[in-house]
């Protein structure tokens, strides 16, 4: 029964996010807001809406480990799994703006979350501060979009066409109804997903945190999976990368921010294992983007394979650790003594080697 509730919650989250984005996008376009601004704001919020709904719902239901684990796990999943899988489809071009602006902002948000969490909690006012930063970041993107090239504007116009005259969703009332339906599905989906996840954790004998870091994180990242893999298959390889980087920033500022803000005086406690391991993995994954992105301004297939391999290793570590398995010490020794150092040396060598710049990467 719990599997059905989990599946129903996941479907409701995905459909709810898509419905919310469709309604909000068309309503904004009806009021004359440019497709570029809509793409940078509403669509970006939409892909992070499942994480925001689940984290907020988990806090309101008292499952704070799922709330934080969902965001941290989603950010790790986004980079290692989604970029890894997308790069295996086709080497991903990295726009120069991502290297100069978006990745440093994502890194800054990750560092800020680690700094705020060092005392073992995210207080309500710290959550509110993260929300203010998210609003400031969104305003910055809107202001910056006015200087974007005509080609970038045309790309968003092709992806976000306004409602056709006479279509059923051309009137603002239908668009508002889509927004309402999307919000209802997000709320219901988050409740079902959290309820089923807690039941999974109890039946498997693992913590809410591990479930949040793995199953819930992967589930709420489905909109990002669909967007990035579709973009890679269509050849829009810079969108595949930009979607992941932007989503990670919104997850930290928006999802943790809102979850912390609604936590009240009790704040949002962080589990000791999260502070000692998972937050640092999230930060290391964000840092790994820079050398990978800078090496020829693309993510090659072999780098995508490395990302995927590390996600499998991270998930295996969580499972072995949760079960206190006898193989955990040997697994950790191999990863820290051989695999990680070899990867670092390889990335440094690739970064220092002169690279030919891809033609479409700037």
pTM: 0.80
Is residue 253 scored above 90 in pLDDT? yes
Please state the rounded mean pLDDT for residues 200-227: 80
CA angle 359, 342, 69 (to 5 degrees): 85
Is residue 77 scored above 80 in pLDDT? yes
Q: What is the reported pLDDT for 64?
A: 87
Please state the rounded mean pLDDT for residues 296-307: 82
CA distance 267 to 178: 33
What are 23's strand-pairing partners? none
Q: At what angle do helices 222-233 and 44-60 cross, to 10 degrees?
A: 160
Q: What is the reported pLDDT for 359?
A: 47
Helix or strand (DSSP H, E) at 268? strand 268-269
Q: Do the strands 121-122 and 268-269 form a parallel or antiparallel pair, or are they unpaired?
A: antiparallel
Is residue 139 scored above 60 in pLDDT? yes
CB-CB contact of 30 with 164 (8 Å)? no
CB-CB contact of 84 with 305 (8 Å)? yes
Domains plus CATH for the chain? Answer: 2-352 (1.20.1420.30)
**For the chain, where are the alpha helices, taking DSSP H only?**
2-30, 35-38, 44-60, 64-77, 84-89, 96-97, 103-117, 124-145, 150-159, 172-204, 208-211, 217-220, 222-233, 237-250, 257-261, 272-273, 279-294, 301-322, 328-334, 340-352
DSSP helix/strand/coil, 323: coil
């Amino acid at each position: 029964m719990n599997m059905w509730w989990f599946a129903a919650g996941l479907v409701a989250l995905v459909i709810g996010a898509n419905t919310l984005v469709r309604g909000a996008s068309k309503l904004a376009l009806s009021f004359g807001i440019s497709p570029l601004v809509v793409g940078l704001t509403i669509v970006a919020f939409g892909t992070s809406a499942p994480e925001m709904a689940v984290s907020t719902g988990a806090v309101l239901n008292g499952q704070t480990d799922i709330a934080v684990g969902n965001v941290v796990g989603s950010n790790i999943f986004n980079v290692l799994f989604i970029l890894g899988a997308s790069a295996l489809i086709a080497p991903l071009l990295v726009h120069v703006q991502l290297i100069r602006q978006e990745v440093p902002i994502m890194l800054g948000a990750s560092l800020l979350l680690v700094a705020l969490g060092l005392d073992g909690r995210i207080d309500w006012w710290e959550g509110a501060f993260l929300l203010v930063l998210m609003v400031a970041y969104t305003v910055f993107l809107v202001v910056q979009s006015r200087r974007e090239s005509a080609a970038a504007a045309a790309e968003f116009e092709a992806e976000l066409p306004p409602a056709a005259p006479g279509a059923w969703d051309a009137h603002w009332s239908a668009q508002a109804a889509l927004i309402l339906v999307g919000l209802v599905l997000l709320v219901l989906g988050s409740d079902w997903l959290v309820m089923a996840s807690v039941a999974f954790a109890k039946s498997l004998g693992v913590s809410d945190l591990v479930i949040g870091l793995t199953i819930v994180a992967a589930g709420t990242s489905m909109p990002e999976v669909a967007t990035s893999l579709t973009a890679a298959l269509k050849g829009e390889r810079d969108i595949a990368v930009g979607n992941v980087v932007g989503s990670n920033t919104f997850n930290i500022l928006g999802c943790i921010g809102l979850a912390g803000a609604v936590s009240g005086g009790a704040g949002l406690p962080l589990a000791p294992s999260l502070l000692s391991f998972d937050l640092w993995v999230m930060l290391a994954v964000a840092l790994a983007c820079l050398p990978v992105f800078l090496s020829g301004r693309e993510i090659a297939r072999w780098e995508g394979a490395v990302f995927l391999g590390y996600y499998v290793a991270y998930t295996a570590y969580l499972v072995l650790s949760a079960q206190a398995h006898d193989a955990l010490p040997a697994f950790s020794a191999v990863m820290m003594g051989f695999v990680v150092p070899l990867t670092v040396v390889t990335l440094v060598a690739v970064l220092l080697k002169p690279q030919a710049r891809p033609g479409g990467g700037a």
